[in-house]
Amino acid sequence: MPIDEIALNFSPAGLLVMNIVLGIVMFGIALDMKLGDFKLIVNLPRSMLIGLLGQFLLLPALTFMLVYLLRPAPSMALGMILVAACPGGNISNFFTHLARGNTALSVCMSAVSTASAVVMTPLNFTFWGSLYPDATLILRTVAVNAGDLAATIFLLLGLPLSTGLYISHRYPRWAARVKRPMRYFSMGFFVLFVLSALAVNFEYFINYVHIVALIVLVHNGLALLGGYFSARMVGLPE
């Protein structure tokens, strides 16, 4: 079966579970934060600007260059462009937190980029996707509902972040006691969900992993290097 004709086994219930898991991940991160952390962002406007430009301009452009160079199947090309057009999510906040990066900056970038995604994601996806002629037919069938996207933003980021910050401020002892177990629980739950999704689509995985894996690796590496070197070029601290 051509890869463009594959329909993954992903039910609405499975999507709901995934959203709940991502909300739990964000809640666990917020327990380890304080409102004062966000005051740092006022003093680091350049970091926010460079991050957002990298997210919505540099990464989609680099992705299109990679697509144009590798010439993957249309569905894979659009998948890569869609990934590049989407904002950074809760899992990126989680890994920033684990790496002892600037979690407040990461969360603020996620919040701003996710809110902007109502406009920027369909705009970037449509613009860059339309430049790849082979994907034109598939692109015509894709639609993004702005209302559903806004509701998802609130449920995945706004609600768990505000709840976690409130509990961290109002009940600091309880937050300090549960934040570490919550961190491992949320990540374990996420890994379990990924493995479950892989299990129900395992036949597709086996048949196409040799095609997809290398492209995903190169794409992710390009995103990481692009973000790192663009920040270094403007003198941002590590």
pLDDT of res. 62: 94
Rounded Cα distance between 24 and 185, Å, is 9
pLDDT of res. 160: 84
**CA dist 94 to 26, 132, 187, Å?**
8, 33, 8
3-class secondary-structure state, position 36:
helix
Count CA within 13 A, CB hemisphere, residue 116. 19
pLDDT of res. 90: 63
10-233 CATH: 1.20.1530.20
Rounded Cα distance between 164 and 80, Å, is 32
Contact 149, 118 (CB under 8 A): yes
Query: Which one, of 135, 124, 165, lies nearest residue 3 by Cα?
Result: 135
Q: What is the pTM of this model?
A: 0.71
Contact 3, 73 (CB under 8 A): yes
> Mean pLDDT of successive 10-residue segments in the chain (238 residues)?
61 77 79 69 77 89 92 85 80 75 77 72 85 77 66 77 85 85 80 82 79 87 88 78
Query: Which one, of 23, 30, 11, lies nearest residue 178 by Cα?
Result: 30
Around Cβ 132, how many Cβ atoms within 10 Å?
Answer: 20
Residue extents of the structural domains in the chain: 10-233
